[in-house]
Amino acid sequence: MKIDRETADRYVAVHSEELTRLCFCLCGNVADAEDLFQETWCKAFKNFDKYDVSKPFDKWLFAICVNTYKNSVKHWYNSRRFCFSTDEEQTLFLNSIPDSSGYSSVDYLELHKIICSLPKNHRVVIILKYFKDYTIEEIAQMLSLPVGTIKSRLYSAKKTIRRRFSQYEF
């Protein structure tokens, strides 16, 4: 099934905010997040005939995004500890993302820094589980990994987050 321009525009309008957040959380920097965002939409529209309309579009789109990220030749760069060259750059970017939840990006600044510092395989499962609300089974299916591996990565990532978060004074 070929996708027409009007339908494509509708999908982009509905899913761009969440896809932008996912791309940024995965990549941790603006340039790579923008590249991942564009590449994800290109792949989604190119392979739209493979989309099963009886299933949620966002899960299919996010699976494409995560798999594109995993297969990226830039994955070594994305796993680095820094996310922005300055705190000002980070604040500007976080404030530029539309947020319908009502929470300020400042509320999540320290948590964001900790999540960015996680190894890529831990960062991906944390984002999909706690920021995108996917079940462990859905994450395992998206990443083509056993459920036990996902549980193990979540446990390790949460342990690291707790340890690092306790070091911050609020």
pLDDT of the residue at 101? 55
The third-level CATH classification (topology) of the domain covering 5-165 is Butyryl-CoA Dehydrogenase, subunit A; domain 3 (1.20.140)
Q: Give pLDDT, residue 152.
A: 95
What is the per-residue pLDDT for 82? Answer: 45
Give the per-residue pLDDT at 142. 83
Task: Give one DSSP letter per residue of 27-94, joined into a string.
Answer: H-SHHHHHHHHHHHHHHHHHTGGG--TTS-HHHHHHHHHHHHHHH-TTHHHHTSS---SSHHHHHHHH
The Cβ of residue 89 has, within 10 Å, a number of other Cβ atoms equal to: 13
What mean pLDDT value characterizes the chain?
80
Distance CA 119, CA 127 (A): 12
- Which has the closest alpha carbon to 71: 100, 109, 43? 43
CA dist list (Å): 128 to 25, 49, 62, 63, 66:
10, 25, 9, 10, 9
For the segment 108-150, what is each residue's pLDDT rounded down to a tens digit?
A: 667 777 887 888 889 889 888 887 888 999 888 888 889 999 9
Residue 156 confidence (pLDDT):
94
Which tokens go with 75? 């994955």
Give me the residue spans of the domains in the chain: 5-165
pLDDT greater than 90 at residue 99: no
pLDDT reported for residue 92:
66
Indicate whether 78 pLDDT > 80.
Answer: no
Q: What is the DSSP letter of 86?
A: S
Mean pLDDT of 40-59: 90
Per-residue pLDDT for 76 more than 70? no
Distances (CA, A) of 48 to 70, 107, 114: 20, 37, 35
Name the maximum alpha-carbon separation found in the chain: 54
| pLDDT computed for residue 94 by the predictor | 62
Q: What is the pLDDT of residues 12-37, one digit of tens each?
A: 999 999 999 888 888 877 888 899 99
